[in-house]
Amino acid sequence: MSNNLNILIIGDVLGKAGRRALRSHLPDLLDEHHIDFCVANGENLASGFGTTLKLADELFRVGVNVITNGNHCWDQRNFLKEIDEDDRLIRPANFSKYAPGHGWTIQATRNGFKVAVINLIGQAFMGTWDCPFEAADRVLEEIPDDVDAILVDLHAEATSEKMGMGWYLDGRVSMVYGTHTHVPTCDETIHSGGTAFQSDIGMTGSYNSVIGMKKEGALRRMVQRLPQRLEAVERGATVCATKIIVDTDTKQAQYIERICVRPRE
Ligand SMILES: [Fe+2]
Ligand SMILES: [Fe+2]
């Protein structure tokens, strides 16, 4: 059995546009890049605001293995119940002890590899959460040694906090990556300890927008500073993703590549 594991990471998938783009491009991407395991952030699946089991299922059906979450986790109130119905759905591990769901999961690939995915949320400009660094330590103690790769989605605003986590976990996990800002960063790298890192994967959604939402409404809020409902752009999404190759003997990353598929429509 090969000891290389090809993993595709997708950031925040925004609404109908993001879901539609994954439906049309993900099966080909998985094939073309020989992907064994795929993870996506689902906090914006429901028109930008939260996740439902049904929408998560759309992603599972086209090849996503695990869905992480973020600050929009409970925007769809039913998700408080739904999250416990499928162990491929996780939420940040440093939510309060009262939160339903789990902060990490281990799922198997078709060829029998085990991949652990940990979800964390940042503290800088993000609200009040438990310490993500302490949560990472706690979860890593619980994860059995026989997993073949460990991925960490740090859902956070500040690049500094995300870079800090990248170094904090260097040598202990296969990749630390950021989600939440909806803009991809070109700082993908592999640290000296073998941990791949990227500050933000970027959204899979329409970039003819303000972070996925219609620009007219977003601008009204910014310019007039009056209440305005934000609406997700429904077409024309770009798929932003990052591929890594992990050596399962060491769990270290050997390769990292950003992937971008622009809309045809
Ligand atoms: Fe988001
Ligand atoms: Fe977010």
CA of 24 to the centre of ligand 2 (A): 24
Please indicate whether residue 191 is annotated as part of the active site. no
- Pair of tokens at residue 55: 């929408």
pLDDT at 1: 53
Give the ligand whose atoms come closest to the C-alpha of residue 15: 1
CA of 29 to the centre of ligand 2 (A): 25
Given the residues 72, 155, 180, 182, select the one marked as catalytic. 72
Please give all residues whose CB falls under 5 A of ion ligand 1, grouped by chain where several chains appear. 12, 43-44
Give me the phi and psi of 108, to 5 degrees please.
Answer: -95, 145
pLDDT at residue 264 in the model: 75
Place of tokens 């795929």: 38
Write down the pLDDT at residue 151.
Answer: 99
Ligand closest to the CA atom of residue 203: 1
Alpha helices in the chain (DSSP H): 15-32, 53-61, 79-82, 132-142, 159-168, 215-223
Q: What is the pTM of this model?
A: 0.97
Taken in order of first residue, the domains within the chain and their CATH numbers are 4-261 (3.60.21.10)
- Mean pLDDT for each consecutive 10-residue tract of the chain (265 residues)? 89 98 97 98 98 98 98 98 98 98 97 97 95 98 98 98 98 98 98 98 98 96 94 97 98 98 83
173 C-alpha to center of ligand 2: Å? Answer: 23
Ligand number, closest to the Cα atom of 121 = 2
- d(CA 145, ligand 1 centre) in Å: 31
- Please provide the size of the chain in residues: 265
- State how far the Cα of 196 lies from the Cα of 204, in Å rounded to an integer: 21
